[in-house]
Amino acid sequence: MSDCLVVVNFKTYQTAHGTSAEELALAMSGIDTDARMIAAVSALDLAAVVAAAPDLEVWCQHLDPVGFGSNTGWLHPETAIERGATGTLINHAEHKVSIEHVAMLLDQVPEGFEVCACAADVDEAMALAALVPTYVAVEPPELIGGDTSVTSADPGIVSGTAAAVREVSDEVGILCGAGVKTGADVAKAIELGSIGVLLASGVTKAEDYRAALSGLISEL
């Protein structure tokens, strides 16, 4: 399933920052799979991860729609691109922004730069899909970081989001996340209508990155 996306959000886990981020990125780039493996890393680790794993697609975890100038503390898209980012997450449940922020960012980034807008529910997914980002990822906040996958706890939100987004735009890909930790979870996500998954602790907290990643893609 070469079109399947496996996006690993490194967040700011101790086991996925600094040199550990580089080690995880190398493990991802070494996995033998037809799925697209994508690392979403801290802005502070971006350049180092790109250098450590040059064959791996690397995204930012967040960007701001700002230009060059007096914007202390904001994350400039052009700087991220210059440092090797090929995409970004936006509006993650742990870093919410306004719909206007997402719209302005989409207007600013160049063609081909991928934007995955995160949604908490079907209504938010539809609103974001109307802006036509590359992907919309549905993640119920109450399941993020937990041990129960959204695909078993609330499969209807995945299939419902997939159907709703396709009503709005057939250009937007659908991802799902929250508690996804096994190959069966990933396979179920695809069955429910998504084209991939947004992962985090199931990989970042694993004692063996490679074994965790291999297990997650085992049923694709």
- The domain spans of the chain are 5-216
The CATH number that domain 5-216 falls under is 3.20.20.70
In this predicted structure, what is the pLDDT of residue 1? 38
Give Cβ neighbours of residue 164 (< 8 Å, ≥ 6 apart): 122, 125, 126, 129
In angstroms, the CA 40 to CA 166 distance is 25
In this predicted structure, what is the pLDDT of residue 30? 93
Cα Rg of the chain, angstroms: 16
Q: Are 101 and 65 in contact (CB under 8 A)?
A: yes
pTM of this structure: 0.94
Active-site residue list: 92, 139
Greatest Cα pair distance in the chain? 49
In angstroms, the CA 19 to CA 153 distance is 35
In this predicted structure, what is the pLDDT of residue 97? 98
In this predicted structure, what is the pLDDT of residue 172? 97
Instruction: Collapse the DSSP code of 48 into the 3-class scheme (helix H, G, I; strand E, B; otherwise coil) and give the result.
Output: helix
Alpha carbon distances (Å) from 86 to 161, 190, 191 = 25, 24, 27
β-pair type (173-177, 196-199): parallel
In this predicted structure, what is the pLDDT of residue 7? 96
In this predicted structure, what is the pLDDT of residue 82? 97
Structure tokens at 153: 């706890």
Q: Are 64 and 106 in contact (CB under 8 A)?
A: no
Name residue 207's amino acid: E
pLDDT in tens, the chain (220 residues): 347 999 999 999 999 999 999 999 999 999 989 899 999 999 999 999 999 999 999 999 999 999 999 999 999 999 999 999 999 999 999 999 999 999 999 999 999 999 999 999 999 999 999 999 999 999 988 888 777 888 888 889 999 999 999 999 999 999 998 888 888 999 999 999 999 999 998 899 999 999 999 998 888 7
In this predicted structure, what is the pLDDT of residue 124? 97
